Structure 1
Amino acid sequence: MIGPIRRTLTLIVLSVRDMLASAGPVVLLAVGVLVAAYWWLDPQPPKTVTLATGPEGSAYAEFGRRYAQAPARNRIEVKLTTTEGSRANLQALRAGQADVAFVRGGSADAAADGEAGITSLGALFYEPLWVFYRPAALAGQARAAPKSEANKPVTTLGQLKGLRVNIDQPGSGVPEIVQRLLQANGMDASALVTSQLPPAAAAEALLGGYLDALVLVTAPESPVVERLLRAPGVALMDVAQADAYARRFPFLQPVTLPRGVVDLAADIPPHDVSLLATTTSLLTREQTHPALRQLFAQAAQGLHSGAGWFHRARDFPNTRTSELPVSPEGDRAINGTPPFWQRYLPFWASNLLERMWLVIGGLIVLLLPLSRVVPPLYTFRVRRRVFRWYARLRTIEAKVDEGLGERNELLDELDELDRVANGITVPLAHAEELFALRNNIDAVRRRLLAKRPA
């Protein structure tokens, strides 16, 4: 009973060994190609990514906290870098200190930054230019002005002349925008008593009477904006020349803050307000891993696709208003259809398949013809265990035909060869070759026995 079991186990081991030896070169080639492609494509992203946001209390900082949640679910840590604002974010991208950043329209150099490998993941939202002022600060000007000008609301930048105006931090990009708008009005910053406080500190100074006006360029989600819109004694400038500014400056466009959109019950604002707005985009570097760009583009789709104060649902994110080239990941997330496997596979598996599918497909095409070599190699290895003994049998047969060697010695050699043949194990499909060898050994033995001894 032990003999047949041992013979069966030996047959299984030999068959597996032959199969591995036959398919081994093809398998090694496939594994080598996959390893080389994995190393070259680097499909798995790093575990940390840096997002440049903005000052504390700004809309950028608020959005940064929301963006950190999606990568965190995939075990990727988002490091939020607090900056002075849009221009500082762009400098961080250029210097390689950030992987992704919020950058306001008009800040980037489309030619230079495009050549430097900075691309967009899509335009995210409008950032209006908010000019908040204290009507009480204009009382002195109103008394000196003609009676028809008294209590007139601020609608032009020229009305801010001589007032204490905060124009935001240097790295925010707002001072540059204000300077360009003042120059268009035939003024410069010296016409105002300017300061450059952070948004939160400037709001406190305005409410405390230490400032007459402040200029912000931020999204309506900013806590500072919502606070000032509801603050008593603070008014919002209605830009009467919004269309004219938009014609002069391509990165600006007129928007309307609808009546009651802030608070319907309190009717805030009490009338439609014309504003100027830029479009903020999510920019990234060419060196940022494609999987990370994909994650942020998908997060943008979820965070900014709803309706807002200045736009309807699904107006953002978009690729129409991006100043820089849109990356393939951003374009696919906004305008395309995500692969179906993203709905069923975890992020790491979906990302691996997306980065490697072309290599895997090419490898399959390559292996199809190579796989045809495996069965002949397997057959050759099995039959070789039998055919290798025919050389010895032919030598014995030649001695028999030529009458060389002692009869008993040749019989001993045939007996030894027969014992070897009995020990050969081959699959049933190749048993015919083994039986043929044993029959040929027996045939040579009969011929030897039929010869008369010398």
Structure 2
Amino acid sequence: MVAAAPSVIALAAVCILAYWLVDPAPPSSITLSTGQENSAYEDFGRQYAAELAKAGITVKLKPSLGSRENLQRLQDEDSGVDIAFVQSGTTETAEAEKGGLVSLGSLFTEPVWLFYRGRTLGSLTQLRGLRINAGPEGSGVPALFRKLLSVNGIEPEQIRLGDLENTPATVALLEGRIDGLVFSSAPDAPLIQMLLQTPGVKLFDFAQAEAYSRRFPFLSHVVLPRGIVDLGKNRPARDYHLIAPTATLVAREDLHPALVDLLVQSAQQIHGGAGWFRRRGEFPTPSYTEIPVAPAAQKIYKNGPPLLQRYLPFWLANLLERMWVLVVALGALILPLSRIIPPLYVWKVRSRIYRWYGQLRAVEQSIEDVPEERRSQVYPEQLRRLADLEGRVNRISIPLSFAEELYGLRSHIDLVRKRVRWLMEGRGKAEPG
């Protein structure tokens, strides 16, 4: 213990220091800003919470008005939001970089759904004078809808735009208090599913969808196939052309890389299947986003999950990935220590024996050139001293592999004793002759 303890303590100190400083452990809890009640963002937020709970990460869901409010929360460090759903077209690349935001990939398309009652509309220009709900300003829909109106030559004051949230707006449409409402959501949202099957509620067909997608790069042209809602009842009765931004999972750039890996893998589990507007494996993707994609997310999309995370639990894989630097450092320390500790151990054991040679040497010096008149006093005193030394040496505890040194010391003590006795008996008789 005396020989190895300093090295063991040094290695332990290096391990503890590296654990805290090399790469801090990921937090056990994060906050996800979702969306309005009964929205796709709210539904997907619950799915992410369930997926990350399997890895021991708690996801706190924070409802919002929509994409724009989510973006504001991410840019506000005091909001406590770590990740959020953001619609493409809500921000610009330069603004995202300035705000320290990164994308974890595009998750799914969010078609613009314009539901209305009354006569069939063939163009957005026919919305003049109607009461259309575009949602609260905290969502991304009002700004997007105003862009669509502007390219059609419609001024905002020519339409009575409402700012109700999705659920109250749906109730208002069904009660006839408004003429139409605009959503931008995945088809999984309960309100979308209900309105697609509600008699008297019509879906606007963006016949110029391809032109819109060329004018606005963040939009894509998607088709709602005939019968996709209900094949038996043939709903809808024909194909509908829609325009769709994409939903992006956005985070602060200081989000722990291990959480980025986990979130991207969760996104692949949740959004990787086939859907109304996507083929299997088409989403999530690093494309369709104006926000720079996080390097850790890019690596997952390119190479797949890290090797250790494919076979080990998240916490163990993360620990090993974080501590690889420590493994290299320990290797560099253990190699020289492995050469130092054995000789140090041998020296430490032998020092229990060698230190008695100093006293044995003192006895020898004490019997040299002793005046005749003092010999009767000095020699017996040194014999008693040797006896005491031998008794103390016999109580030394050493490993059996070093017994040779112990017996050598005892034989040397006996040798000095014989010399003292020879001086007492033989030398005294020989000198007169």
Q: Which residue of 2 aligns with 1:279?
A: 246
Find the counterpart in structure 2 of residue 220 from structure 1: 187
Say if 1:43 and 1:392 are closer, same or farther in 2 by CA, change over 3 A: same
SS at match of 2:235: coil
CA–CA distance in 2 between the matches of 1:244 and 1:437? 102
Residue 342 of structure 1 and its aligned partner are, at CA, apart by 3.1
Match of 1:127 among 110, 124, 141: 110
1:124-182 per-residue CA deviation (whole Å, 9 max, x = no partner) reads 10011111122x2x3xxxxxxxxxxxxxx434321212211111111001111111122
Q: What is the Cα deviation at residue 45 of structure 1?
A: 3.4
Contact in 1 for aligned 2:74/2:251 (Cα 8 Å)? yes
Q: Pick from 408, 415, 428: which aligns with 2:400?
A: 428
Rounded to whole Å, the distance in 2 between the matches of 1:429 and 1:155 is 100
Preserved CA contact (<8 Å) 1:43 1:351:
no
TM-aligned CA deviation for residue 326 of structure 1: 2.2
Deviation at 1:284, TM superposition (A): 1.1
Aligned residue pair count: 419
Cα displacement (A) at 1:433: 1.4
Judge conservation of contact 2:133–2:169 (CA < 8 Å) in 1. yes
| Equivalent runs, 1:60-71 vs 2, <5 Å | 60-71=41-52
CA distance in 2, matches of 1:290, 1:402: 82
The answer to whether the 8 A contact 2:213-2:219 is kept is yes
Work out whether residues 132 and 180 of structure 2, in 8 Å CA contact, stay in contact via their aligned partners in 1.
yes
Determine helix, strand or coil for the equivalent of 1:216: strand
Question: What's the counterpart of residue 87 of structure 1?
Answer: 68
Amino acid at match of 1:234: V
Contact 1:169 1:196 in 2 (8 A): yes
Aligned counterparts of 1:334 and 1:219: Cα–Cα separation in 2? 22
Q: Relative to 1, partners in 2 of residues 1:92 and 1:36: Cα closer, same or farther, differing over 3 Å?
A: same
Instruction: Give the match's secondary structure for 2:233.
Output: coil
Q: Any idea what the Cα deviations from partners look like across 1:330-383, whole Å, max 9, x if unmatched?
A: 334433333444355433323222222222333223322223211111111101
Whether 2:100 is the aligned partner of 1:117: answer yes
Aligned to 1:51: 32
Distance 2:154 2:346 in 1: 92
Q: 1:354 aligns with which of 301, 315, 321?
A: 321
Tell me the distance in 2 between the aligned counterparts of 1:77 and 1:297: 16
SS in 2 for 1:56: coil
Render the CA deviation track for 1:236-267: whole Å, top value 9, x for unaligned.
Answer: 12212222222221211111112222222222
Give, in whole Å, the separation in 1 of the partners of 2:74 and 2:123: 35
Provide the residue aligned with 1:310 in structure 2. 277
Unaligned runs of 5+ in 1: 1-19, 139-152
Code of the aligned partner of 1:386: I
Change (3 A) 1:399 1:187: same
Query: What amino acid is aligned across from residue 245 of structure 1 in structure 2?
Result: Y
1:326 aligns with 2:293: yes
Change (3 A) 1:281 1:182: same
CA distance in 2, matches of 1:262, 1:422: 96
**1:57 CA drift (Å):** 0.8
Match of 2:164 in 1: 197
Q: What is the identity, as a one-letter code, of the residue corresponding to 1:443? A: L
**CA displacement 1:167-201 (0-9 Å, x = unmatched):** 11110011111111222222221121111111122
Aligned in 2, Cα 1:437/1:346: closer, same or farther, shift over 3 Å? same
1:392 aligns with 2:359: yes
Q: Is the 8 A contact 2:261 2:305 kept in 1?
A: no
Which residue does 2:90 correspond to in 1? 107
1:169-318 superposed matches below 5 A: 169-318=136-285
| 1:85-113, Cα deviation, whole Å (9 max, x unpaired) | 00101111111321111011011332232
Check conservation: 1:70, 1:295, Cα contact below 8 A: no
CA RMSD of aligned residues (A): 2.0
Contact kept, 8 Å, 2:173 with 2:181, in 1: the verdict is: yes
Give the TM-score of the pair, scaled to structure 2.
0.91
Q: How high is the sequence identity, in percent, across the aligned residues?
A: 46
Q: Is the 8 A contact 1:301 1:334 kept in 2?
A: no
The aligned amino acid for 1:441 is: I
Pick closer, same or farther for the CA change 1:41–1:321 going to 2, 3 Å.
farther
Say if 2:105 and 2:285, in contact at 8 Å, map to a contact too.
yes
Matches of 1:435 and 1:413, distance apart in 2: 19
Kindly indicate whether the alpha-carbon contact (under 8 Å) linking 1:123 and 1:321 is maintained by their aligned counterparts in 2. yes
CA contact (8 A) 1:43 1:356 kept: no
TM-score (norm 1): 0.87
Deviation at 1:77, TM superposition (A): 2.9
Kept in 2: contact 1:297–1:329 (CA 8 A): no
